[in-house]
């Protein structure tokens, strides 16, 4: 199994398309960093215009590496599923399209093994992608903008909030958030693999994965009570942005933030369970379908 995984990673590493995702992330992060370095104060003024009167802060320190990373992740983690779909959607269908699937299946490799290897390879790709995001969005931002206390702008119900996390309480939250994002994006990877089982070219499953994510995300953002109650809990996209929960710091009775705390750990934990259940479901269906499939490509 380990040998097969090494082979899979070798193949992924030799394909030019693999690096599109890394190049895209690098370009987007650099644009963000350049824009905020050049004119970050305008953004900060816009965000603070509603709370200017009752919130005192040193604006020159508000735009720091931690804040930048949060802003970048907020934008980027919506797009990254597309990059993950590029690899996962191609997993089986790409082999079928190239004609190599039938050659692999004439080797002493079981179908379950192949799906699992494709899954682990997609998972590792997702992890590498997130590590690269962490390097670019967090560490490069810290290098450019420095470290300081972090501000989070949040809309809770009908109320706008600004949360402040001290700089010595931020880093672990990022590690936790990246860990959560890895699980969330692995759901996309397993969905991509599932769809790729049924196709004999890569375009279909990649487009289908992206379309499903976009469709579910739109439905997840419809704020109508009937959808909130009956539909959203069943959509995995409702849980993709759960990483933000690590930055919603818990408060004491006086509304003061408690260092090292999370406002709603139970919600994050439940979201993780639901995401993992989706991974198991998608992967299980993929294995079942692939074992039954006649390879005619």
Partner 1 sequence: MQALLNVNQLCKSFGQFHAVNNLSFTVNKGDVFGFLGENGAGKSTTIRMILTLITQTSGEIELFGKNLQQNRKEILQQVGAVIERPDLYKYLTAYENLNLFAKMSGLKLSKATLMEQLDVVGLADRFDSNVKTFSQGMKQRLGIAVALVHNPEFIILDEPTNGLDPQGIADIRNLILKLSHERGKTILVSSHLLSEIEIIANRMIIIHKGKKIVEGEVKTLLDPSKTIVSIETTNNQFAFDQLSQSEWNQKLTMNDYQIQLETSKNDIPKIIRFLSDKNIDIQLIQPRHSLEDYFLKLTKSEKHVEPFTN
Query: Given the rule CB under 8 A, which residues bind partner 1?
Result: 3-4, 6-7, 10-11, 14-16, 98-100, 102-110, 292, 294-296
**Rounded least distance, CB 155 to partner 1, Å:** 47
As beta bridge partners, residue 161 has: 154
The C-alpha atoms of residue 82 and residue 86 are separated, in whole angstroms, by 6
Helices 265-292, 171-197: axis angle to 10 degrees equals 20
Q: Shortest gap between Cβ of 7 and partner 1 (angstroms)? A: 5
Q: Which is nearer to partner 1, 90 or 148 (CB)?
A: 90
CB of 204 to partner 1, least distance (A): 19
Give 133 or 287: the residue with its C-beta nearer to partner 1: 287
Residues in contact with 55: Cβ distance below 8 Å, sequence separation at least 6, in sequence order: 48, 162
Confirm if 118 and 234 have CB atoms less than 8 A apart. no
Residue number with CB closer to partner 1 (14 or 229): 14
Backbone Cα Rg of the chain: 21
Which residue number, 13 or 166, has a Cβ lying nearer to partner 1? 13
* 278/272 Cα distance (integer angstroms): 10
Could you tell me the smallest distance in angstroms from the CB atom of residue 104 to partner 1? 7
Is residue 286 packed enough to be buried (19+ CB in 10 Å), middle (13-18) or exposed (0-12)?
buried
**Is the CB of 125 or the CB of 216 nearer to partner 1?**
125
Instruction: Give the shortest CB-6-to-partner 1 separation in angstroms.
Output: 8
DSSP 136-157: IIIIHHHHHH----EEEEEEET
In the bound state with partner 1, the residue whose beta carbon lies nearer, of 6 and 160, is: 6
- Alpha carbons 121 and 2: distance in angstroms, whole number: 11
Closest separation in Å from C-beta 64 to partner 1:
43
SS3 1: coil
> Residue 23 Cβ, how far from partner 1 at the closest point, in Å?
18
Beta strands in 6-71 (DSSP E): none
Helix or strand run (H / E) with residue 121: helix 111-133
Q: Which is nearer to partner 1, 10 or 143 (CB)?
A: 10
CB 10, min distance to partner 1, A? 7
Ramachandran angles phi, psi of 152, nearest 5°: -120, 125
Name 147's Cβ contacts closer than 8 Å, sequence gap at least 6: 64, 65, 66, 167, 170
Q: What letter does residue 158 receive in the DSSP assignment? A: T
Nearest to partner 1 of 63, 91 (CB atom): 91
Neighbours of 74 (CB within 10 A): 14
């Amino acid at each position: 199994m380990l040998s097969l995984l090494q082979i899979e990673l070798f193949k992924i590493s030799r394909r030019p398309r693999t690096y599109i995702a890394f190049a895209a992330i690098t370009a987007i992060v650099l644009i963000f960093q350049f824009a905020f370095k050049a004119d970050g104060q305008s953004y900060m003024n816009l965000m603070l215009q509603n709370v200017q009167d009752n919130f005192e802060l040193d604006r020159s320190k508000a735009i720091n590496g931690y804040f930048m990373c949060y802003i970048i992740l907020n934008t980027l983690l919506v797009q990254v599923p597309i990059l993950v779909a590029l690899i996962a959607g191609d997993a089986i269908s790409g082999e079928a399209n190239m004609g190599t699937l039938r050659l692999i299946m004439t080797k002493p490799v079981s179908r379950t093994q192949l799906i699992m290897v494709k899954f682990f390879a997609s998972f590792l790709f997702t992890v590498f992608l997130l590590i690269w995001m962490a390097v670019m969005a967090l560490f490069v931002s810290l290098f450019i903008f420095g470290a300081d206390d972090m501000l989070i702008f949040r809309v809770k119900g009908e109320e706008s909030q600004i949360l402040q996390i001290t700089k010595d309480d931020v880093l672990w939250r990022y590690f936790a958030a990246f860990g959560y994002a890895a699980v969330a994006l692995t759901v996309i990877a397993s969905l991509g693999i599932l769809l790729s089982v049924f196709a004999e070219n890569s375009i279909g499953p990649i487009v289908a994965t992206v379309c499903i994510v976009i469709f579910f995300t739109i439905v997840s953002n419809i704020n109508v009570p009937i959808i909130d109650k009956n539909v959203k809990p069943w959509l995995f996209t409702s849980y993709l942005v759960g990483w933000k929960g690590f930055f919603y710091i818990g408060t004491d009775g006086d509304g003061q933030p408690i260092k090292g705390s999370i406002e709603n750990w139970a919600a994050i934990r439940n979201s993780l369970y639901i995401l993992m259940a989706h991974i198991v479901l998608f992967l299980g269906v993929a294995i079942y379908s692939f074992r039954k499939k006649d390879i005619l490509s």
